[in-house]
Amino acid sequence: MAETLFSKIIDREIPADIIFEDDQCLAFRDINPQAPTHFLVIPKKPIAKLSDAEEADQALLGHLLLVASRVAEQEGLADFRLNVNNGAGASQTVFHLHVHVLGGRPFSWPPG
């Protein structure tokens, strides 16, 4: 996978407001928040998009969701939305898998 903005954050080449990190992933605040609380959870393993994940990534994918929930709780969110964009047509702009966690305001359905 080509180097991305997120791989540079993982490597500390670009600063980010990191709010969680372990050996598999990190979470940091979105620089263009779409809600009062908006952070991303990204794997340290380079996976361009969800559809590129393999069977061997199953535990990692579950870990990302558990981290998203735990960090949302740390951030004081009882209700929150998770979003994963898969591909340019779904508005993915950084091709490194990431889970958006948004909260702190009501959301409507369907999303845009």
- The reply to whether omega before 46 is within 30° of 0 (cis) is no
pLDDT score for 13: 97
pLDDT score for 2: 80
| pLDDT cut 70: percent of the chain above it | 98
Would residue 100 show up in a list of annotated catalytic residues for this protein? no
Global confidence as pTM: 0.95
Q: Cite the DSSP H helix spans in the chain.
A: 5-10, 58-74
Contacts of 86 (CB under 8 A, 6+ apart): 49, 50, 51, 92
Q: Could you tell me the residue ranges of all domains in the chain?
A: 5-103
Contacts of 53 (CB under 8 A, 6+ apart): 47, 60, 61, 97
- Calculate mean pLDDT across residues 80-103: 97
- Given the residues 38, 63, 96, 98, the one annotated as active site: 98
Q: Which CATH code of 3.30.428.10, 3.30.43.10, 3.40.1380.20, 3.30.70.1450 fits the domain covering 5-103?
A: 3.30.428.10
| pLDDT cut 90: percent of the chain above it | 96
Contacts of 69 (CB under 8 A, 6+ apart): none
Instruction: State whether residue 16 is helix, strand or coil.
Output: coil
Express each pLDDT in 20-75 by its tens digit.
999 999 999 999 999 999 999 999 999 999 999 999 999 999 999 999 999 999 99
